[in-house]
Amino acid sequence: MKLSRAQCQTVLESHHLKVTEPRLMVLEFIGAQSGPSKAYDIIHGLTVNPPTVYRALASLTEAGIIHRIESLNAYVFCLHLDHDHSEGHEIFFTICDDCGRVDEIDHDLKTNLRAVLKARNFHAKRRIFEIHGACSSCA
């Protein structure tokens, strides 16, 4: 998802984040990639010092604008930027191990999962599911 600088600003504002240069640079960088952006590539692709980049990544992740895919150590835009992320949301990624394609899937599993967690009185903080395999073109 290629975003202009103005669109990046709007995304930050709509998620109640202060518009800062490092955040804009990180969003533009991730938007310019066709697949997930590896943390290493973001750090090395920007002329900002690494701690600043990590802070920007952390705040953008926290706000739900981007998601971290742990098994790839990479970041992607949330495909549901218009959603309210205030109470967090369950995220299901399908990751093709052959071509690297990553999709965020929206599924009614979410409703069931919430009910199950609620019944157990479990307070979930990180609800990211990473499903590895082969996509329809690679299978």
* CB of residue 69 to Zn ion, shortest distance in Å: 11
Cβ closest to Zn ion, residue 5 vs residue 80 = 80
113 binds Zn ion (CB under 5 A): no
Tokens 């967090």 sit at which residue?
88
Interacting residue with Zn ion among 53, 78, 95, 102 (CB under 5 A): 78
* 135 near Zn ion, judged by CB under 5 A: yes
3 token code pair = 């975003």
Taking CB under 5 A as the rule, does residue 97 contact Zn ion? Answer: no
Residues 26-65, one symbol each (x = binds Zn ion by CB under 5 A, - = not), give ----------------------------------------
Nearest approach, Cβ of residue 83 and Zn ion (Å) = 7
Q: Which residues bind Zn ion (CB under 5 A)?
A: 78, 80, 96, 98-99, 101, 135, 138
